[in-house]
Amino acid sequence: MEKYITDERTGLKYELVGDYYLIAGDDEPEEDQPIGTWGQRHLRYLKEHHRVRYANLLTIGKLNDYLADLNEQAEELFLRLVKQTADAEGITEKLKASDQMEWVRQMNSIRNRAMEIVNAELIFA
């Protein structure tokens, strides 16, 4: 049996609850957005240090949306910081072709610095 159905004649949406279809609210069923690494870190931080905020988001049903949005922002910031720092420090494909180990060392350094910035500004703030 389908979880959600729509009555063609009336346009009402029904949700399967147990063995019965009940009228669903006006809202579309929420699709769970995936929560990545950054969102999981922030979730753990909220549970440990901001329990009231965590409980409020959970009870109003906005926790998943909040974490997915924060994860997207953090990922964009991280990628932008890595690219900008690599460009500023002159880390190029030419270095990658000539000295791979040096390129890896420098890129790991840049990634670690970018991760610290994202953690400080978004995840643990």
Tell me, yes or no, whether 63 and 118 share the same domain. Answer: yes
- Do residues 88 and 97 touch, judged by C-beta distance below 8 A? no
Tell me, yes or no, whether 119 and 82 share the same domain. Answer: yes
Query: Residue 29: pLDDT band by 50, 70, 90 thresholds?
Result: very low
Q: Provide the whole-model pTM.
A: 0.72
Tell me, yes or no, whether 56 and 113 share the same domain. Answer: yes
Query: How many domains does the chain fold into?
Result: 2
Tell me, yes or no, whether 102 and 85 share the same domain. Answer: yes
Tell me, yes or no, whether 66 and 102 share the same domain. Answer: yes
Q: Give the residue among 67, 49, 36, 63 at the shortest CA–CA distance from 124.
A: 49
For the chain, give the number of residues.
Answer: 125
pLDDT in tens, 35-81: 999 999 999 999 999 999 999 999 898 999 999 999 999 999 999 99
Q: In a 3-state reduction of DSSP, which class is residue 14? A: strand
Count Cα atoms within 13 angstroms, Cβ side, for 113.
13
Residue 54: domain span: 31-123
Tell me, yes or no, whether 56 and 89 share the same domain. Answer: yes
